[in-house]
Amino acid sequence: MRLLHTSDWHLGRSFHRVTLLDAQRAFLDHLVATVEERAVDAVLVSGDIYDRAVPSLAAVEMFDQVLNRLADLGVPTVMISGNHDSARRLGVGSKLLGRAGVHLRTDPRECGTPVLLDGADSGGQVAVYGLPYLEPSLVRQTLGAEGTGHPAVLRAAMDRVRADLATRPAGTRSVVLAHAFVTGAEVSDSERDITVGGVASVPASVFDGVDYVALGHLHNCQSITERVRYSGTPLAYSFSEAGHPKSMWLVDLGPAGELAAERLHCPVPRALARLRGTLRELLEDPAYEQHTEAWVEATLTDAARPHDPMARLTKRFPHTVSLVFAPEREETDDGRSYAVRLKGRTDRQIAEDFVGHVRPGRRAAPEERDMLGQALEAVRVAEATEPDDSPAVSRTGPAAGPHTSGQHAGTGNGPAAREGHREVAR
């Protein structure tokens, strides 16, 4: 029995607000072509078909088209819902679709009800069990789980699988689709957290006794054991996946349950590049020429934020979609308290220091220092001429009362000091 294991299509998802619809269509074309060319007996899709519970019309149309194409080939397809999917929406029409060979498993109560596939070899039938994403708080009672977390509900689901498998003829081969986080797997930034409802990870031993476990949820293609594998996403959905070759598993399940798996790579619409350096380095270094057509995440290390960096970057890297600032500068905190560092400094000096703090590498220019001095002096004059019985007003100047600039600087309690303190706290 030859199985094609894929998952986490996330139809309708974008990449940093860039649509991926064309890339997703290209993947589905590749999937159908692979089914034909490699004589696949069944397709396994382990959840997160859509990216949202209420998918876009374009995503639904793509899903409909690929189901029809697989049905036309006469190749059975087994799918489960993931944590991104709406199980009830995805499961609409599941019994009708099952007659066409498309088997949707979205109801936790059906965990122990397999799709029975007739093998072309002498090994007899293959029982394929679909375990949709199991949110502990929602399915615990349904499954009769003895705990509150993901391990408990998955154990309860697998107990149903083993109980049904025990009623099957001796030698029946078994496959389980599950959408979960298995201990020891490598994660990325683009998976939605599933810790709500209890401990997120489950041990691989939960699936003991099954010939093959087709996992979904994590986006990196990986093997937990020889028989427990993630296919990962067919496309990269975050820059944390820049080093993940995207692929599917082609699994041959022998008559006695022997297993061989081949990794089939998926088409790459555009490479990902994570570049780091000063703006000048990124714009001028010949080593970065190879990334001009990639989707780029640029991390600028300039001590001072450059002028209009995105517009300048996109002239060389037109597909720059993410810009991060991580200035590299010497640490100035010498361990003294904020009040001690301000002691003896005037409000003008504190204000000038603040400019250098929020604009590292570019301290206040002479004309800026003059403007700060004029503003502070204007406030002092206004306070000196203000009647004693005038109502209190909100000020951004150095004083709110009869204190002198030196008093504020000495105590570290002046408005400029307080403003600087708020910045440091942020």
The residue type at 244: H
User: What pLDDT score does 399 carry?
Assistant: 44
Task: Sketch the domain layout of the chain as residue ranges.
Answer: 2-265, 272-325, 338-425
User: What pLDDT score does 415 carry?
Assistant: 46
User: What pLDDT score does 194 carry?
Assistant: 56
User: What pLDDT score does 333 carry?
Assistant: 56
User: What pLDDT score does 153 carry?
Assistant: 94
User: What pLDDT score does 123 carry?
Assistant: 72
Query: What span, in angstroms and rounded, lies between the C-alpha atoms of 120 and 325?
Result: 57
User: What pLDDT score does 198 carry?
Assistant: 43
Q: How is residue 90 written in tokens?
A: 């995805």
Q: How far is CA 327 from CA 26, 105, 277, 301, in A?
A: 39, 50, 9, 4
User: What pLDDT score does 73 carry?
Assistant: 95
User: What pLDDT score does 138 carry?
Assistant: 93
Task: Label residue 213 left, alpha or beta by phi (over 0 means left) and psi (-120 to 50 means alpha).
Answer: beta
Query: Mean pLDDT per segment of 10 residues, for the chain of length 426 residues?
Result: 97 95 98 97 97 96 96 96 95 93 96 90 87 93 90 95 95 96 78 54 93 96 96 95 94 95 96 96 96 97 92 97 86 64 79 72 78 86 70 47 42 45 41
Q: Which residues of 7-27 are buried (b: 16+ CB within 10 A; e: fewer)?
A: bbbbbbbebeeeebbebbbbb
How is domain 2-265 classified at the CATH fold level?
Purple Acid Phosphatase; chain A, domain 2 (3.60.21)
Q: How far is CA 263 from CA 4, 42, 237, in A?
A: 10, 16, 20
DSSP letter for each residue of 95-140: HHHHHTTEEEE--GGGTT-PEEEE-SSTT-EEEEEEE----HHHHH
Residue 283: CA count within 13 A, CB half-sphere: 13
